[in-house]
Amino acid sequence: MRLLRQTTAVLAGILLSASVLAADNAYGYEESEPGIFAMTSDLLIARPLLLGVTAVGATVFVVSLPFTAMGGNIPEAGRELVVRPGRETFVRCLGCTKSGYGRKQQDGNR
């Protein structure tokens, strides 16, 4: 019963933080720098999920390697299953929406 209460509290906190982020974007103004909510949700929610996606993608890539070798598309499969999620996990600046090492590179990509 205690585990159920703790799980419910964590899920309620995640849903509330998501609603705050949605309300933040609903007012029609765009910030040039990511805010505290974007950075916090990126650190606590997005990065761990992206790390899991990278690990699952690497596993799927290794399992599908014989089939992709027969099809001749190993570089494309590696890029889509491992490199892109890894870049989003480790290279993107905290709270940014596009991958890159820092704010200057982010502004150059727009």
Residue the block writes with tokens 């990278």: 54
Confidence at 57, pLDDT banded by 50, 70, 90: very high
Residue among 68, 88, 86, 67 nearest 77 (CA)? 68
Question: Is the pLDDT assigned to residue 26 strictly greater than 90?
Answer: no
Query: What's the average model confidence in pLDDT over 38-67?
Result: 94
Whole-model pTM: value is 0.60
CB 94 within 8 A of CB 39: yes
Q: In this predicted structure, what is the pLDDT of residue 28?
A: 46
pLDDT band with cut points at 50, 70 and 90 for residue 61? very high
Q: Could you tell me which residue, 20 or 100, shows the higher pLDDT?
A: 100
Q: Can you tell me the mean pLDDT for 63-82?
A: 94
